[in-house]
Chains A and B, each alone.
Chain A
Amino acid sequence: MKPAPFQYLKARSLEEALAAKAALGDDARFLAGGQSLIPTMNFRMAQPTALVDLNGLTGLAGIAEQPDGTIGIGALARHRDVERSAVIARWQPMLVEAVREVAHPQIRARGTLCGNLAHADPMSELPAVMLALGARLTAQSVSGQRMIAAQDFFRGVFTTALSAEEMLVHVAVPPLQAGTGTCFLELARRKGDYAMAGVAAVVTLDDRRLCRSARLAYCAAGETPVLAEPAAGLLVGAVIDADSAAAVGTAAAEVLAPTGDVQAGADYKRHLAAVLTKRALLAAADRARGA
């Protein structure tokens, strides 16, 4: 289990990294945390011809609150940084809730949020959270920058809207509206494992405590993270209680297409998604009432 040979470039600037990637093409990879890439290289399932190491670009590691309440997270911000960020804990607690489900502390010490999103593993928690929160992703290449909505970013298993030359350099998470509660719930075989089912729920209540809006996004639900908009829409104007939450869970689960694996069958995963939806909606609504 030793990786195949590759060329290695330790980038000294973002520009240098982007130029190198543009020159090296598709068979080269950016190396940020490497916590998904390096295991597959050790198994020789991935054999990139070159790695462009971003870890020296400490300027990309920031997590900052912008004047409009948006939280910006740079390409080199690690899961551990997200987990410990006071700004995120205060304004986007669901992100902390979800990132704490990502593997184990030693992995979170290296792995980065942007790297996780660019890897686009549909089993991963964070793409679903970004869908639920309506995050905006910034891609950059030698030819410039562009913004991609989270909804448009994930195209398939390990496939994103990024071109071979682009790097995901920044994620912007917009502020939650007043009266909003969030909850991320998942069930995994062991703590730290990929979930058999996982849901990110965002609920905004009006001043009569009826649902003004709701968003539900799922990991482990198909080839991409899934935003269940019609099902979440059923809640608008309704009281969020056990019955309505369960009904939405059932409706949402119907649009999910989880893949059965050695741990759990697809039907069981879909059932779990329904159960978790109910629980997450009730918890999010509780939090919204307290918000």
Chain B
Amino acid sequence: MDSLYTLTTTVNGRIHTRVVEPRMLLSDFLREDLALTGTHVGCEHGVCGACTVLVDGVAVRSCLMFAPQVDGCAVETVEGLAPGPDRLSLLQEAFRETHALQCGFCTPGILMTIKAFLAETPDPSETEIRETLGGTLCRCTGYQAIVAAVTLAAARLRTQGASP
């Protein structure tokens, strides 16, 4: 049982090996060790959802995992969403079109939550969308535009037969 832990993880398709203190939260590991600051820290007690990332395809709170726990896992963050440097994914574009973000601080966590959600629920009801968004707080928008964005993105993804 060492006081430091060496972990190897794939983040947005890139492999990283780092030595960390076991107590390093996944959120801080992504932000500080990997300089992926798109994942935001809002509460550090698992309520606000701003830090949500995908671990092996599942949306989780990165403030409620320790970095060693993603040893051997594939992590996806908001930085991995866009198809290219000057392009937005269909989901991101839908958020822009419907004004589903204002200050944008909660947005990365919501995008990651919805990416996982739409992959499993391609034709969601409004209630399903709202239940899923229930795990992420937004203080600016009042959520209506986010619900609209998710609905719009789902419809377009179905038309294109694409995954989010």
Question: A and B from one assembly?
Answer: yes
A1-31, CB under 8 A of B: which get 1 and which 0? 1111111111000000000000000000001
Q: Hey, what's the 0/1 contact readout for B51-87 against A, CB within 8 Å counting as 1?
A: 0100000111101111011010000000000000000
* Given A105-B113, A109-B60: A55 and B135 interface contact (C-beta under 8 Å): no
A241–B23 alpha-carbon span in the complex (Å): 54
Give the docked Cα–Cα distance between A192 and B134 (Å). 8
- B contacts with A, residue count (CB < 8 A): 31
Residues of A near B49 (CB, < 8 A) are 104, 106
Would you call A53 an interface residue if the criterion is a C-beta within 8 Å of the partner chain's C-beta atoms? yes
Chain A residues positioned under 8 Å from B22 (CB to CB): 5-8, 51
A217 to B23, CA, bound (A): 38
CA distance A192 to B136 in the complex (A): 11
Interface residue total, chain A, C-beta cutoff 8 A = 32
Does B132 count as interface, using CB distance less than 8 angstroms? Answer: yes
A209 within 8 A of B: no
Q: In the complex the two chains form, what is the Cα distance from A55 to B11 in whole Å?
A: 19
Interface mask (A29-57 → B, CB under 8 Å = 1, otherwise 0): 00100110011001100000011010100
Instruction: Tell me the bound Cα distance from A6 to B68 in angstroms.
Output: 13
Closest 3 pairs (CB-CB, A-B): A104-B135, A8-B22, A39-B45
Contact with A along B27-66 (1 / 0, CB 8 A): 0100000000000000011100100100000111101111
Asked if A191 contacts B134 (CB within 8 A), the reply is yes
Cβ-defined partner of A110 (8 Å) among B28, B60, B134:
B60
- Of the candidates B5, B65, B71, B135, the one whose C-beta lies within 8 Å of that of A105 is B135
